[in-house]
Structure 1
Amino acid sequence: MTTDAFYPIGTPGQPWGPAEVADWRSRQVRRRSYDVDVLRVVEDLRSRFDVVEYGRLDYGAEVYPLFAIESRDWKDELPCALVTGGVHGYETSGVHGALQFVDAHASRYAGRVNLIVVPCVSPWAYERIHRWNPEAVDPNRSFRADSPAQESAALMRLIAPLRERIGLHIDLHETTDTDESEFRPALAARDGKAYVAGEIPDGFYLVDDSENPQPEFQQAVIAAVAKVTHIAPADSDGQIIGSPVVAPGVINYAFKRLGLCAGVTNARYTTTTEVYPDSPRATPEQCNAAQVAAVCAALDFMLAHA
């Protein structure tokens, strides 16, 4: 349903210019600490894993170092797997799920797979619990040449030497109630379009690549996560967030064409997780555990089908 709901920045029907972006940015408040929540945890992992600073985000008075956690026993003959979290900074379990996976489970893959884990792609947005970077750009629509997002460009530079060797990429996300209350209305206002209300699914789901579908892989991940939290059902139209459900808990997007993080490699196995943290049936601990279960199931599937 198209609505005329007023967003407090800009003029309805007109895309934002620099003044509107500056107004929006001035309203964003730092609400948590990347240093405390992420960097200190990464520092504690240095004794067991290699930690690589792959870039720095320079936003004037604020500079954010970007880190990847990698297998210490890296062997060129082994398959490579990429885990990313926090591409949308407000999606909390993607960040903490990635870190919890490294701490509790990554060691059991030693000698079997080379791991690259990037737990927080977008630290400015993590601190402000937002979807965009300071330029009002969505990093998860910006994984392409000449990217307008520093976050996306830095990750692409990190991955470039291994792009053809990575066999698995799992990108950890959430779908939240604020997608409809804030982020999609803001997107419509930014682009000068009418806001069309959507429906938030209650439960976990996956996004497969329509240009490289791997249905057996997706169902293996769904089966593992179902032991931790509930899987989102299709709505009355047989859809989840406006896309047809192609299997229980699975929809498809064109990763590369849309500039999505999950399309940044040429991996055979790719997926985007979507946890629902606002469900009355899920706790923050369950949401983190669902992300961890998804990563482990994805890795196990890749290794079993190598």
Structure 2
Amino acid sequence: MTTLAPYPIGTPGVPWGSAEVATWLAKQTRHRSYEKDVLSVVDSLRSRYDVVEYGRLDYSPETYPLMAIKSRQWRDELPYVLVTGGVHGYETSGVHGALRFAEQHASTYEGRINLIVAPCVSPWAYERIHRWNPHALDPNRSFRKDSPARESAALMRLVEDFRESVMMHIDLHETTDSDESEFRPALAARDGVAFEPDEVPDGFYLVDDSENPQPAFQQAVIAAVAKVTHIAPADCNGQIIGSTVVAPGVIEYSMRKLGLCAGITEARYTTTTEVYPDSPRTSPEQCIAAQVAAVCAAIDFVLAETANS
């Protein structure tokens, strides 16, 4: 029997207080540049799209402008499509998948959709390759009224005026080995509960909304991504990360009850992507390509449904 070492911050069984959060924060190190990796790409798109600053995070000594890319030919009668990435900053292909889609594919849909891309919702965490913000809060459990996470609150303000008009929202994520080695143990320690190890799925999968399942939409995305990288199989219990697999590569969560990003609008079609960059069967480049394929397939499905309605 293997005995797991306790997380190095806090007392087992006791939730963190401000002292433990401060200790955790002091250990966080900046590894990469939001300005270089994200803002420079967004700036390069200004000649083709409208670029808006929808908020600003003041995490002294750093300040982070929150940027979104929008269709220039905006028409109210067109389908509204929302693409988000980097809600968890460490999930790299979500950020770069959103940016690459905007760079290389978004123009294909010009005049057919109203597009909003928020490529890096959590820039502080992007730079530190972390899941949380500086207050040890998970933005992707914080999309709710009076959110304590500034990243989540800012994105909700961005979509407030058109949240009822959004037809599709795709939120780009990853599941990594560090989920098991660092982030889930840290979460258990923060909340004062026992850490229970789980299996990291090897491959791409989707999270549908259990309150509004759209199986045909999910399978259209899975079919497109399967041409780029492998789809995660169910484990021996017929599950992925503890949730029942309802169709190949698809599980369901209650988006709004859990405060997930994909639940912030009234969109009929919603999904959260998850790709596994640590797999020996894929590469970082394939993971980005898989995210792009997912976005394109999701939009194509919506346009086909609109044409047929």
Fold agreement, TM-score > 0.5: yes
User: Which residue is 1:296 aligned to?
Assistant: 296
The aligned counterpart of 1:171 is 171
CA distance in 1, matches of 2:112, 2:216: 22
Letter in 2 for 1:79: P
Q: What TM-score do the two structures reach when normalised by structure 1?
A: 0.99
- SS state at 1:51 partner: strand
Query: Structure 2 CA distance, aligned partners of 1:46 and 1:24?
Result: 38
Compute the RMSD of aligned alpha carbons: 1.0
Provide the residue aligned with 1:270 in structure 2: 270
1:116 corresponds in structure 2 to 116
CA distance in 1, matches of 2:205, 2:2: 25
State yes or no: 1:255 paired with 2:255. Answer: yes
CA distance in 2, matches of 1:288, 1:71: 22
Q: How does 1:68-79 map to 2 (within 5 A)?
A: 68-79=68-79
Q: For residues 77 and 273 of structure 2, what CA distance do their matches in structure 1 show?
A: 28
**2:241 is the counterpart of 1:241:** yes
Q: Which runs of 5+ in 2 are unaligned?
A: none
Any idea what the Cα deviations from partners look like across 1:271-306, whole Å, max 9, x if unmatched? 000010000111111000000000000000001001
Pairing 1:201-212 to 2, within 5 Å after superposition:
201-212=201-212
Cα deviation, residue 90, structure 1 = 0.1
2-side partners of 1:102 and 1:126: how far apart? 19
Cα displacement string for residues 3-27 of structure 1 (whole angstroms, at most 9, x for unaligned residues): 6531010000000000000000000
Amino acid at match of 1:105: H
Partner residue of 1:145? 145
> Residue by residue, what CA displacement relative to the aligned partner does 1:145-196 show, whole Å, maximum 9, x if unpaired?
0101000000000000000000000000000000000000000000000000
Deviations 1:52-102 (A, max 9, x none): 000001112111000000001111111100000000000000000000000
Distance 2:243 2:172 in 1: 19
State the TM-score, normalized to the length of structure 2: 0.98
Letter in 2 for 1:137: L
Shift of 1:227: 0.2
Structure 1 distance, partners of 2:235, 2:298, is: 26
Q: Secondary structure at the match of 2:64?
A: strand
SS at match of 2:32: coil
CA distance in 2, matches of 1:33, 1:4: 34
Q: Distance in 1 between matches of 2:2 and 2:81?
A: 41
Q: How many residues of Structure 1 are paired with residues of Structure 2 in the alignment?
A: 306
Q: Note if 1:107 corresponds to 2:107.
A: yes
> Are residues 29 and 115 of structure 1, via their aligned partners in 2, closer, same or farther at CA, if it must alter by over 3 Å?
same
Aligned pairs for 1:53-132 within 5 A: 53-132=53-132
**For residues 230-287 of structure 1, what are the alpha-carbon distances to aligned partners after superposition, in whole Å with 9 as ceiling and x for unaligned?**
0000000000000000000000000000000000001000000001000011111100
Alignment of 1:44 onto 2:44: yes
Partner of 1:29: 29
SS at match of 2:53: strand
- Displacement of 1:2 in angstroms is 10
CA deviation map 1:124-146 (0-9, x unaligned): 00000000000000000000001
**C-alpha separation between the residues in 2 aligned to 1:125 and 1:2?**
32
